[in-house]
Amino acid sequence: MSADRPRPGRPARDHRSLRWITATTVLAAALAVPATAMASARTAPATPVGTLARHLATGSGVKVTNRYTVASKGTKCDWREAGALRLGRSGVVASDLTGRYAAFPDRDLAEEQAKPRRFLTFPKADYSSGPFWEPYLPAGKTWVRLTDQQTAGPGLSTLVDIFEPGVYRGLLATTSVKRQGGKVGGASTTLYEGAIPYGKLYALSPSLHRPGWKPDRATAKVAVRWKLWLGTDKLARRLVTAYVLDKGFEYRWENVVDTRFSSWGAKVSITPPPAGEVIDYDDLGSDVPDGFTTMIPGMASRER
Domain extents for the chain?
1-44, 50-303
Beta bridge partners of residue 126, listed in sequence order: 121
- Residue 151: predicted pLDDT: 66
Q: What average pLDDT does this structure show over 147-166?
A: 84
Q: What is d(CA 63, CA 260) in angstroms, rounded to the nearest whole number?
A: 8
Is residue 30 scored above 60 in pLDDT? no
Q: What global pTM score does this model have?
A: 0.80
- Residue 6: predicted pLDDT: 26
Q: What is d(CA 10, CA 12) in angstroms, rounded to the nearest whole number?
A: 7
User: What is the band of 19 on the pLDDT scale with cuts at 50, 70, 90?
Assistant: very low
- Residue 169: predicted pLDDT: 98
Put residue 186 in one of left, alpha, beta given phi > 0 → left and psi -120 to 50 → alpha.
left
C-beta neighbour count of 57 within 10 angstroms: 13
pLDDT digits (tens, 9 = 90+) for 140-155: 999 999 876 666 678 9
Beta bridge partners of residue 69, listed in sequence order: 78, 256
- Residue 296: predicted pLDDT: 39
Q: Which segment, 4-18, 39-53, 138-152, 285-299, is predicted with the most confidence on average? A: 138-152
CB 127 within 8 A of CB 273: yes
pLDDT digits (tens, 9 = 90+) for 89-123: 999 999 999 999 999 988 888 898 899 999 999 98
- Residue 287: predicted pLDDT: 75
Is residue 76 scored above 80 in pLDDT? yes
Beta bridge partners of residue 117, listed in sequence order: 99
What are the two backbone dihedrals, phi and then psi, of residue 171, each rounded to the nearest 5 degrees?
-65, -50
9 versus 56: the higher-pLDDT residue is 56
Beta bridge partners of residue 146, listed in sequence order: none
CATH 2.40.110.20 is right for the domain spanning 50-303: no
Q: What is d(CA 296, CA 304) in angstroms, rounded to the nearest whole number?
A: 15
3-state helix, strand, coil in the chain (%, to 5): 25, 35, 40
Q: What is d(CA 110, CA 112) in angstroms, rounded to the nearest whole number?
A: 5
